[in-house]
Amino acid sequence: MAHQRGAETRYRIMKAAVKRFSADGYDAASVDDICSAAGVSKGAFYHHFESKQALFLGLLEDWLEGLDRAMAAAGRATVPETLVQMTNMLPGTMASAHNRLGMWLEFWLQASRDKSIWKATIAPYRHYRDLFSQMIQRGIAEGTFKDVDPDASAQAILSLAVGLFLQSILDPKGANWQRTAEQSMQILLAGLMKPATIGPSTRERGIR
Amino acid sequence: MAHQRGAETRYRIMKAAVKRFSADGYDAASVDDICSAAGVSKGAFYHHFESKQALFLGLLEDWLEGLDRAMAAAGRATVPETLVQMTNMLPGTMASAHNRLGMWLEFWLQASRDKSIWKATIAPYRHYRDLFSQMIQRGIAEGTFKDVDPDASAQAILSLAVGLFLQSILDPKGANWQRTAEQSMQILLAGLMKPATIGPSTRERGIR
């Protein structure tokens, strides 16, 4: 019971923090503000999070877990199918980041001045690059991908995703980001896949 | 003569600004600091630049002109050749951005709070998307590219470039960014080009 209450408190703090960070910005939202919005004591806050920065990193992790779940859920789908499914999830991720540009920039700026926070901030990029590299190796083994360099291909996928994400928060109305993400991934996949495996049958199987 | 002296003063201010912004950050470097580093009066400064933000935007434009020159110089090269040449220029651009992450974040943060500055900040993205789209149309017309969607393909190229740029300033030591940029562009090009036009002959012609 105590454990469950702890998880609930943690969840309430994180939910309140998203609201306060979005409304007031990362700098202006204080731990006090977050505590009163969540209805918890400062003692409870510091039991769960070492600092405001640690809380923000926790939100970042939560937010990235969707991608991990998608990869785990992919199960027996081929690698191109999995990548298309992950791309379809990207616009939801983007939408939740809209209008929060200031918050992100403020956090990155603070993080860039603190080495250990910075390390934790960039860790996800390296994590996803490794995961994508493993996926590409699986694609080569299963015969859907050409004999490409797995690390370079993983980096290309990650850079495309990071670029789409940054541009969509910088310029939300500059494009239909959902359609843009899908089409961009299709072009990259066409460059990675064996010619024989591209075609209507692949596209149909990508939906299941 | 007066015109030449004006251009010289402008150049001296911009050179001093890069030094001060890099060393002190965008926020801490004042117009006074930049004036004394450049050896010019405040009157001369405001003759050339409306504000510190306008000066930063001027630096941004200067820095992007290299890409425009590369496109103009491409002349009669095929579109894939031009794109490879532009990619080869990217690492130089990246290197000059290293260790200036704080400066970029501070500027973006200030810009995100001012609508007119923000518009000027994102204008280059739209400009390059249009230029890339025209290049893709030329590639389809010259027969090197498949019959792809020019806007979506342009966006894919731009997102890849933006993602590579952001990741290289976030994590300079995380990869060999020059090799990564080249290989990523090759994969994207393989997805855009007609199969018959990919091969050693294209690669050789890419050098001329």
Distance, in angstroms, between A9 CA and closest chain B CA? 32
Candidates B159, B164, B178, partner chain A, best to mutate (most A CBs within 10 A): B159
Residues of A whose CB is below 8 A from B122: 170-171, 174
Q: Please tell me the predicted confidence (pLDDT) of residue A10.
A: 94
How much is the average pLDDT of B175-194? 88
Q: Give the residue on A whose Cα is nearest the Cα of B25.
A: A109
Contact B11, B47 (CB under 8 A): no
pLDDT tier at B91 (50, 70, 90 boundaries)? Answer: low
What is the tens place of the pLDDT at every residue in B4-19?
788 899 999 999 998 8
Q: Please tell me the predicted confidence (pLDDT) of residue A76.
A: 67
Q: Which of A139-143, A203-207, B161-165, B177-181 has the lowest mean pLDDT?
A: A203-207
What is the percentage of chain B residues whose pLDDT exceeds 70? 84
This prediction has a pTM of 0.76
Distance, in angstroms, between A69 CA and closest chain B CA? 23
How much is the average pLDDT of B106-122? 79
What is the tens place of the pLDDT at every residue in B61-89?
887 776 677 667 766 678 888 888 777 77
Q: Please tell me the predicted confidence (pLDDT) of residue A202.
A: 43
**Do B166 and A163 lie within an 8 Å CB cutoff?**
yes
Distance, in angstroms, between B34 CA and closest chain A CA? 22
Q: Which of A110-114, A141-145, B179-183 has the lowest mean pLDDT?
A: A110-114
Q: Give the residue on A whose Cα is nearest the Cα of B145.
A: A187
What is the tens place of the pLDDT at every residue in B30-64?
999 999 999 999 999 999 999 998 998 888 888 77
